[in-house]
Structure 1
Amino acid sequence: MKEQFDAAQISKVIDQALVYQCACPAQVCRAIFELRELYEYQMNCANDSVNDALVHQTIAAATEKSHELMEECLKKILEIEGWDQSTFAMPEALKKKPAKAL
């Protein structure tokens, strides 16, 4: 499966988002990780029959499309919010946002 962002980059966004109470980018990152896990599972799942293989291939194909969409979503979010695309550092303006009440 093609990946625009590696695990370290995604983890860095999640870590900063959690520290500065900016959950939206982190939610997208977690969804990307979950899609990667689902895809890997489908690719490694035992195929006892032709039907099993077709089920896993169908899930893997849909997961691949979803992953591509979510990576594009993350890319756009980082651009909109002004994240540094080379270091994946959160912009200072976001670090100063007041925390939302839970």
Structure 2
Amino acid sequence: MFVDTGALVAAVESQHGGAATLAQSVPVKETHAGGTVWEGVVHVFDLEGHPTASRAYAWSSPIEGSDKRRFFAVLHAGPVKSPLDAVRAAIIAETRSKIGGANEK
């Protein structure tokens, strides 16, 4: 599915600040235990005006049971050095959030 680059720019800028400019788009496939966990295109943005990062990664995924999409934006910082690292970081954060939420119930 085509995702408007403007929506990805808005996701990066609203979540992290600075001014984002598309640098490239990279196909990514993350697998675990022989299965595909996530597959899609990660858009790499140059980021100006951010205090610590000069690059960000953004993509979107469909929301299950909806025609809407969820937007992800991850900074190139710390252990995140590539589009694949960004996807992995988002998957880990989402999994921890779900586990933490389940423990609170």
Question: Going by fraction, where is strand more abundant, 1 or 2?
Answer: 2
Query: What is the TM-score with the length of structure 2 in the denominator?
Result: 0.26
Question: Going by fraction, where is helix more abundant, 1 or 2?
Answer: 1
Query: What is the TM-score with the length of structure 1 in the denominator?
Result: 0.26
Q: Which has the higher contact order (CA 8 A, sep 6+)?
A: 1
